[in-house]
Amino acid sequence: MKAIINGRLVLPDTTLDHHVLLYEGDTIADIVPQDAVNLDNCETVIEAEGAFVMPGFINEHIHGCAGVDTMDEDAEALPKMQQVLPATGVTSFLPTTMTYDRPRIEAALGRIRQAKGNPGARILGAHMEGPFISKTYKGAQKESNISVADFSWLEPYDDVVKIITLAPETLQGKAFLEACAKHDIIVSVGHSAATYEEVRSIMADCPFYHITHLFNAMTPLHHRKPGIVGAALLDPHAHCELICDNLHVHPAAQELVYHMKGQDGIILITDSLRACLLADGESELGGQKVFVRNGEARLADGTLAGSIAPMHEVVHHFFVNSKAPLHEVVAMATVNPARDLGVCDRLGSLAKGKLADIVIISPDDFRVKKTLIGGEIVYTA
């Protein structure tokens, strides 16, 4: 048996002090009062020193970091992401593709499939961001690669694709949505010019759906045209991704979303690109040049091109901005994505019988001090 002591345990419904987290092998064995444990019987004792002990973050929308990208043809790109991400508190993620041509996207999905069993952060599948999107709200996606929705792209990779971002107004009927539901693929509304009415009508039969990086690359909230933002805020079936780097979404807007959606309706993401964790300079996203300066990543025309914020900073920003209880904020990066991705039986919270994917974070600045995956220490600051 191994133990983590003197930490503040962040559970789905509270923050627990004066308790010990016990784990054995790759599994959490129990959480017990500290006076009920004889530490002499533990083969390893990790001293948390008053830091937060949280479940590992699950990042469902990330293109790259540390100089590599999901679309890179280099076979070492995804393994590098898997090795680097634990330093940001991420223990599971969905490598996210871009709007490229079909052969390039299929090659990326193949590499994601192959990398699933690699050491490091767990790959739970892929998030396809495009190519079935709107030219009007393409954002940093390349317009020449935008296509009409075709499920034949996804079907050979239904064991890999977990989320597909698309513009619902471009669909011909609901056959594509029905196919996604049959294959347990989450549909996420994004890079879309849909109206409020179109979103509520087209997505009405979905038990739940996602909103890709709420506020960004979509029709905005207007008092006469509520747009996708209005639909996202009002529909309880819409679970909203938020990039909380304080650039893509203003702190006040983050607080507003919390009051509208609550703990269960928000999923914190980074949407980070290869420039994340690197110094300022020229980078790349989707075959286009990106220029990083003073914490901002933009295309040559000034368009925002993803985030360079790591996950622990995103969680910290939302905690400060939303003024929500810590356990609710952490759930938005753990419990909620695990629930929607169908892995909450083994991931997403500190609970007996779940995998020991654990991150220890400084309460002062949310700096990651230590990360465990399957009970093994994979990162120490």
- Written as six digits, the tokens of 72 are 């890179």
pLDDT computed for residue 289 by the predictor: 87
Confidence of residue 283 (pLDDT cuts 50, 70, 90): confident
Q: What is the pLDDT of residue 295?
A: 84
Across the range 201-205, mean pLDDT stands at: 96
Mean pLDDT for 166-193 is 97
pLDDT of residue 59: 98
Q: Taking residues 249-272, what's their average pLDDT?
A: 98
Q: Please state which of the four CATH numbers 3.40.50.410, 3.20.20.140, 3.40.50.2000, 3.30.9.10 is assigned to the domain occupying 57-340.
A: 3.20.20.140
pLDDT digits (tens, 9 = 90+) for 286-337: 778 889 998 888 988 888 888 999 999 999 999 999 999 999 999 999 999 9
Q: Kindly state the helix (H) or strand (E) to which residue 151 belongs, with its residue range.
A: none
Predicted pLDDT at 305: 83
Tokens 């490091």 locate to 120
Q: Please report, for the chain, the start and end positions of each structural domain, with discontinuous segments joined by +.
A: 2-54+349-380, 57-340
**Percent of the residues in the chain that have a pLDDT greater than 90, as a whole number:** 92
The pLDDT tens digits of the residues spanning 351-364 come to 999 999 999 999 99
Q: Check: CB of residue 21 under 8 Å from CB of residue 4.
A: yes
Among 271, 357, 364, 365, the one annotated catalytic: 271
Residue 349 has pLDDT above 90, yes or no: yes
pLDDT, averaged across the chain: 96
User: Does 271 qualify as catalytic in the annotation?
Assistant: yes
Name the band, by pLDDT with cuts 50, 70 and 90, for residue 142: confident
Q: Do domains 2-54+349-380 and 57-340 have the same CATH topology?
A: no
Q: What mean pLDDT comes out for the span 23-42?
A: 95
pLDDT digits (tens, 9 = 90+) for 60-90: 999 999 999 999 999 999 999 999 999 999 9
Specify whether the backbone of 331 is left (phi greater than 0), alpha (psi in -120 to 50) or beta.
Answer: alpha
* pTM for this model (two decimals): 0.96
Report the pLDDT value the prediction gives residue 378, as an integer from 0 to 100.
Answer: 98
Given this model, what pLDDT does residue 266 score? 98
pLDDT band at 217 (very low <50, low <70, confident <90, very high): very high
Please give the CATH architecture assigned to the domain spanning 2-54+349-380: Roll (2.30)
- Does position 166 have pLDDT exceeding 90, yes or no? yes
